[in-house]
Structure 1
Amino acid sequence: MTTPLRIAVLGASGYTGADLVRLALTHPRIEIAALSANAKAGQTMAQVWPHFAAYPSLPKLCKADEIDFTGIDVVFGCLPHAASAELLSQIEGPKIVDLSADFRLKDAATYADWYGNAHPAPQLLPEAVYGLTEFARDTLPTARIAACPGCYPTAALLALLPLVERGLISPDRITINALSGVSGAGRSVKEANLFPEVAEAVHPYGIGKHRHMPEMEQELSSRAGREVIISFTPHLVPMNRGELATIVVDLADDRTAADLRAAFDARYAGEPFVHLLPEGVAPATRMVRGSNHVVLNVFADRVPGRALVIVAIDNLVKGSSGQAIQNMNLMFGLPETMGLEAAPLFP
């Protein structure tokens, strides 16, 4: 019998932490050894999350500083930024898969500019691998820290990196308009996220200054070999989960939408989770709900020299907890798809 990987989930009372536990329960190599949620310490997962009523053997929630990390193989950080790095920097031994923003940016000064505080553990930044799995397979197996991308960057970068790498689009003008379910805003009580505020309405937020922008620009600039500045506007829509981005790109000289489609076909052929849809089929969040899958497609714009790339993911799975497990699998030499084979939920 193969020895299981013992995991600790920090922040199990949040949406990403709960979805990670949900996925981990069916992973054949994971043993859930510890679950933390400081404000709800002492409660069972079923008391916090009724959908775990069928799993009474799950560990009780505890405070993070009560966990004995001896014998833990991997720690999943599902905590807010700053709190995550401060706690994870004190842990030695286990590998770390962080779902916060704390290890995504390579430059501590950039982090301070966008997050409003000095980085809690700048000494760990060189160790962190940016865990956009499909573009990090060479580095994840030897990494101690995997920094999972944000949900918006996951969708946008999967749609843009193959095009930027091949010089098929101009890096001078990239416009991303994205829609996300309310779970993307977290579980903490906020007036703007109350049902009467979000139902039957759509509204933009973080206009011109969303914290995922430097993350996307960092990765695009690295692949383009020059500075890339994007336009990005996120919108909150009245659904629980799901994310869709419509990206307007200027084509490089003599390139067409068909060239972009060919690039996606070549780059993602055989990928277990990223799928180029048949020509003319528009991605929709219902195609990926509850799964680690990604769907994308390309459309010619009526403006000459311009194209539209549309991509859909589940913000809590591929945009967060599913990608975290995908990264963990590679860090421990497991099949990449292990524990993530579930088909999308529909309707």
Structure 2
Amino acid sequence: MTEQQTGAPAPRGRWRVRSGSHTVAVRRQGMDTDSQVDVAEFLIGEVTGDRATIRVVRAGADWSVASWQVTVTTAVLAELLDRSVREPDLIDKHDVLGGYFQAGTALFQGPPHPADIAQGLVGDCRVASAFQAVAATPGGPALIQSLITTGTDVYRVRLVPTAGPKSMPASGATATAIEISDYLPVTRNDKNPLYLLSGTPYGPTSSTPIWPAVLEKAFATMWGGYAALDGAEERPVFAALGLGDITHVNWMSGDESKPAVAKTRIMSLAKDGYAITTAAARGPRHNYAVIGVTEDGPVIADPNTKRGAEAEKRWKSAEVVAKLDKMPTADQFPLHFTWDAFFQNFMWIYAALPPKKK
């Protein structure tokens, strides 16, 4: 039973028909009779009495050039909602820049890897770095793969529900499937990803795995749109992904302020398979992933790093950093910081333990 059938107000937002399109009767402006139209995507406007105003996209058309305003009966709208999934709202200033594009690309290209992440036009570095950190753990790739299943034109992502980007799950909350379409937000002109996977065009011939963008879209759906990801914290992300024992180590204050104490703690967490993120203590506030820890220091990845030949070399053998005048740019990461350099340039870590494989 849909919200329309229960008498509740029609949900606002953009919706996409699960199986590509559905034929319904619509009435165009200025017309006295209904027409049969294959609707692929629609945006709900005003609902008055037994009719609703919507903007529709015909099957196979692009939103930016092919949408038009029509009216339908509330019964037809309920039928459409039953067959559709909601698209999370783009950030307001991106609505004229972007649209949605069916990726048609493999969800995974081998096990998920931290190098698969490339942050885009939203300030969700704490979300993206959490994904990177989980992918860097021994059990993380299998966990990520287990969270996403495919259906007809949809993905189902199992997340433990959290009320918002700064909220932890309710006590006893369990994972539930969030259904999203297999369309991802892109710029309208060149079809480049707007958000995660930025700078790595995807499509039928792309070798870019799209799992990061699918996970990001599931969080945007759960939290009410992509704008909610801006400034989100990693704790709710870790918890929603099913990780536990979320730990904070802060060497700027408290008992852990001594580097030797923090070093021992971080090395122990890494040895036990925890996903670890860290935050810069100098320059613009930014979050990073700890993708490896040795006796000499941690290896740090930046979620802004773009894919490419040079980046692949650094992923295989990260340059050692012992002293810094300023924080390196994204295209210099991953980097292997000595412990002294790490404690001088970063201010804390968050760590969380992926569930053990059953």
Decide: shared fold, TM above 0.5.
no
TM-score (normalised: structure 1): 0.29
| Higher Rg of the two aligned structures | 2
Greater helix content: 1
TM-score (normalised: structure 2): 0.29
